[in-house]
Amino acid sequence: MNTPKENRAIALSQRVYKRLLRLYPRAHREEYGTAMAQLFRDQCRDAWQAHRGWGLAWLWLHVLPDLFKTAAYERLANRGERKPMFKKTFTEIRTRPAWLALFIVVSLSVFFLVVVAATIVTFMLPEQYSSKARIKVERDMIEAPGVTGRPHMTGVHDPYFIQTEFEVIQSEKILDQVIERLDLNTVWANKYNLQKLKYSESRALLKKMVELRPARNTSLVDITVYNQDPAEAAKIANTVAEVYQTYRREQSAMFLAYNADEYKKLIAELKKQLVVKTNDSKADDDKTSKMIERAARLYMASDGAGQTLAVEIIEHAEPGFRPVRPNKPLNIAIGIGLGLLLGLAAGTLVTMFAIAMRKQPAPAQ
């Protein structure tokens, strides 16, 4: 039984071939067009069964030059016929040097070959959906204690903050949790008919699907996931956002706990300081005021209510309605552009080579 992909590829090839049959004179087309199209369909089926997409591409590689050559021949043979398409061109070719015909045939062959190949490849690529979760990423108020052993307040501009966080999101620490929560090792193994995947394998797959992009001039980050299954794409995007949020919360909680502990110790010290006084009252005052200042700072740092939420999920991902990859119009447009370029280049090269060969003197008998 034919697979949908096979049907699609063969049907597309056949549609293109039927269009190209218009290059033949009408009488020839009416007499043999159906038979030629039928024969080409048989060839397509055999080529697909033998080598799938590559077989089709290889078939086109043989069929296109044959088509252009024989279409030109049939038109020249039928020059008495009244045919609007190409009539003028090929009539001119008859009276002009043969190199012009060679240039046109080679250029058109290469052009159509590239366009057809680009179109076939585009339609054969698996369709992917995208889902986007949006998060707001702020720096933590408190960071790890510095060399003084004291935690310090942030507020200094860090140009590498977002890049660092991107690396964190794509790190083993976050992605492995995503894999675990969604059981991707098993899900993907079943999907691709493989044995249970390792974390490293699933992580590599996941990294290819996840794309991170900052929203310009904001602290918002888009987590976009590309996947053949729209529901899975949304689930992964949301889980990445949630795991990262949890990770940042845990980090903050760790620092808060540390600061609360330090605060308690300092208060105990302060109490002792107030009881035991030295003879130097100024030094005592300085020490006491420094300790109070530090205690106040630690109190603020240990109080989670005073902090903003470091990571907030602004938008949850929803399954996409239509595939975003491959971008079919763009791919075909690139194919047309590339085909034009390569066609002209190939036509020029082959014609120059043919002229150069003709100009060479005949070898002495």
Partner 1 sequence: MTATQPDPENFLPLTPAVFHVLLALSDGERHGYAIMREVDQSTGGKIKMGPGTLYGTIKRLLAARLIEEAEERPDPALDDERRRYYRLTALGQRVAKAEAARYADMVRLARGKKLIRATLGGAA
Contact footprint for partner 1 (CB under 8 A): 24, 28, 31-32, 34-36, 38-40, 42-43, 62-63, 65-67, 69-71, 73-74
The distance of closest approach from Cβ of residue 18 to partner 1 in the complex, given in angstroms and rounded to an integer, is 12
The distance of closest approach from Cβ of residue 90 to partner 1 in the complex, given in angstroms and rounded to an integer, is 15
DSSP 311-328: EEEEE-----SS--BS-H
Cβ–Cβ contacts within 10 Å for residue 220, how many? Answer: 16
Calculate Rg over the CA atoms of the chain. 35
The answer to whether the CB of 170 falls within 8 A of the CB of 203 is no
What is the three-state SS of 61-79?
A: HHHHHHHHHHHHHHHHHCC
Distance between CA atoms of residues 146 and 140, nearest Å: 15
The answer to whether the CB of 56 falls within 8 A of the CB of 45 is no
Q: Is the preceding peptide bond at 326 cis, omega within 30 degrees of 0?
A: yes
The distance of closest approach from Cβ of residue 73 to partner 1 in the complex, given in angstroms and rounded to an integer, is 7
Distance between CA atoms of residues 362 and 50, nearest Å: 46
Nearer to partner 1 by Cβ, of 63 and 350: the residue is 63
Nearest residue to 6 (alpha-carbon basis) of 45, 57, 40, 37: 45
The distance of closest approach from Cβ of residue 34 to partner 1 in the complex, given in angstroms and rounded to an integer, is 7
- φ/ψ of residue 159, rounded to 5: -65, -20
Q: Which amino acid is at 260?
A: A
The distance of closest approach from Cβ of residue 189 to partner 1 in the complex, given in angstroms and rounded to an integer, is 41
Nearer to partner 1 by Cβ, of 24 and 129: the residue is 24
Nearer to partner 1 by Cβ, of 14 and 228: the residue is 14
Q: Which amino acid is at 56?
A: L
Please write down the long-range contacts of 75-80, taking CB distance under 8 Å and 24 or more positions apart. 75/23, 75/24, 75/25, 78/25, 78/27, 78/28
The distance of closest approach from Cβ of residue 81 to partner 1 in the complex, given in angstroms and rounded to an integer, is 14
Nearer to partner 1 by Cβ, of 28 and 134: the residue is 28
The DSSP secondary-structure symbol of 151 reads -
Nearer to partner 1 by Cβ, of 42 and 303: the residue is 42
The distance of closest approach from Cβ of residue 71 to partner 1 in the complex, given in angstroms and rounded to an integer, is 7
Nearer to partner 1 by Cβ, of 68 and 188: the residue is 68
Nearer to partner 1 by Cβ, of 39 and 257: the residue is 39
